[in-house]
């Protein structure tokens, strides 16, 4: 299917696929350096279409088919992309499904556009990872190089090419942390996390559970599931979780 483009006044061009249907709709928020063609996004699109639900998947700037370069972006930019996609491409209440970094962005949207949300599902959610994972695990030499040179290449388990981590990414991340200030989630929230996740430790999910203020917040730990959370049984769990919220 050929994607569509949302062109914004500042020149950003966001590629997206939208399925029209009844509400509440579902919006998928992908992870760091992922795009809207991933297994979870396409599975959920088919699931929503089969139920006549509205569904949106899109690429942040610097990701997939959208405009911009990945290394120029940061979490604040990608959260703005998500807010614009939610505002311009959906109507009425939406359920956000955030995978990895998308879980962080979903929590940012929950603080900025709470009236638009009917629920939130975090899959291996990784809020504040630029500070608590990247920066915290850099050596003193890496920190000095990042500060003086403005960028640092680090190996990736998901690509033959290293990730280029920029000083701007780290500094912007500090302006968008969600686990330091009050986090009010006035709608159903479900966190799904695999015990074999080697990228985001289960302690992150437990920290969200302890930190957020919410009347209906549940965490499901899946023994043996990895960070991708894309095995058939994992996908079915995501679908059942959405059906429960609906």
pLDDT tens-digit profile of 82-136? 999 999 999 999 999 999 999 999 999 999 999 999 999 999 999 999 999 999 9
Question: Could you tell me which residues come within 8 angstroms of residue 243 by beta carbon, excluding any fewer than 6 positions away?
Answer: none
Preceding omega of 24 cis (within 30 degrees of 0): yes
111 is a domain residue: yes
Please report the pLDDT score of residue 1 as a whole number: 63
Is the sign of the CA dihedral 174, 36, 14, 208 positive or negative?
Answer: negative
Res. 244 pLDDT band, cuts 50 70 90? very high
Is 159 annotated as catalytic?
no
Q: Is the pLDDT of residue 159 over 80?
A: no
Has residue 157 got a pLDDT over 80? no
Tell me the Ramachandran region of residue 67: left when phi exceeds 0, alpha when psi lies from -120 to 50, beta otherwise: beta
Q: Give backbone dihedrals phi and psi of 68, rounded to 5 degrees, phi first.
A: 95, 170
Q: Residue 122: its pLDDT value, please?
A: 98
Domain holding 104, by residue range, is 4-128+178-245
Q: Domain count for the chain, please give it.
A: 1
138 falls within a domain? no
Q: Has residue 159 been placed in a domain?
A: no
In the set 77, 81, 128, 197, the catalytic residue is 197
**Main-chain dihedrals φ then ψ at residue 244, nearest 5 degrees:** -65, -45
Which backbone phi and psi does 72 adopt, to 5 degrees?
A: -85, -10
| N-term to C-term CA, the chain | 27
- From the list 119, 108, 127, 128, the residue with the least C-alpha distance to 27 is 119
**Rounded to 5 degrees, what are φ and ψ at 212?**
-70, 150
**45, part of any domain:** yes
What is the average pLDDT value for the chain, to the nearest integer? Answer: 96
Report residue 235's pLDDT band, with 50, 70 and 90 as the boundaries.
very high
- Flag whether 52 is in a domain: yes
For residue 229, name the pLDDT band (cuts at 50, 70, 90): very high
Q: Is 12 exposed, middle or buried (0-12, 13-18, 19+ CB in 10 A)?
A: middle
Please pick, among 63, 100, 128, 199, the residue that the annotation labels catalytic: 100
What is the rounded distance in angstroms from the CA atom of residue 8 to the CA atom of residue 223?
Answer: 42
216 flagged as catalytic: no
Strands (E), the chain: 4-7, 13-19, 22-29, 53-58, 94-99, 117-123, 151-154, 163-166, 189-194, 217-222
Please report, rounded to a whole number, the percentage of residues in the chain having pLDDT higher than 90: 94
- Helix, strand, coil shares, percent, the chain, to 5: 40, 25, 35
pTM (predicted TM-score): 0.96
Closest CA to 233 of 218, 222, 242, 244: 222
In a domain, residue 29? The reply is yes
Quote the pLDDT of residue 101. Answer: 98
The CATH number linked to 235 is: 3.40.50.1820
Residue 232 has pLDDT above 90, yes or no: yes
Query: Tens of pLDDT along 194-205?
Result: 999 999 999 999
In the residue annotation, 227 being an active-site residue is answered as yes
Q: Look at 13-17, 124-128, 132-136, 156-160 and tell me which has the smallest mean pLDDT.
A: 156-160
Percentage of residues of the chain with pLDDT beyond 70: 100
Q: Is residue 151 part of a domain?
A: no
* Region of residue 19 (left: phi > 0; alpha: psi -120 to 50; beta: else): beta
Residue 139 lies in a domain: no
Q: How many CB atoms lie within 10 A of CB 51?
A: 15
């Amino acid at each position: 299917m050929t994607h569509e483009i949302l062109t914004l006044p500042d020149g950003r061009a966001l590629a997206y696929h939208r399925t029209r249907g009844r509400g509440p709709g579902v919006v998928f928020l992908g992870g760091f350096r992922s795009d809207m063609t991933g297994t979870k996004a396409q599975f959920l699109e088919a699931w929503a279409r089969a139920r006549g639900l509205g569904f949106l998947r899109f690429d942040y700037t610097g990701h997939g088919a959208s405009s911009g370069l990945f290394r120029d972006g940061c979490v604040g930019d990608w959260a703005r992309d998500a807010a614009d996609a939610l505002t311009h491409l959906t109507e009425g209440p939406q359920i956000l499904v955030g995978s990895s970094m998308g879980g962080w962005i979903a929590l940012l949207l929950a603080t900025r556009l709470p009236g638009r949300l009917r629920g939130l599902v975090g899959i291996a959610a990784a809020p504040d990872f630029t500070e608590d994972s990247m920066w915290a695990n850099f050596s003193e030499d890496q920190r000095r190089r990042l500060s003086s040179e403005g960028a640092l290449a680090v190996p990736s388990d998901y690509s033959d090419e290293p990730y280029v981590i920029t000083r701007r990414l780290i500094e912007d991340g500090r302006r968008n942390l969600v686990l330091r200030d009050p986090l009010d989630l006035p709608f159903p929230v479900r966190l799904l996390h695999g015990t074999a996740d080697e990228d985001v430790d289960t302690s992150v999910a437990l920290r969200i559970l302890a930190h957020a203020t919410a009347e209906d917040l549940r965490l499901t730990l899946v023994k043996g599931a990895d960070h991708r959370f894309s095995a058939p049984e994992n996908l079915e769990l995501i679908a059942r979780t959405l059906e429960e919220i609906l």
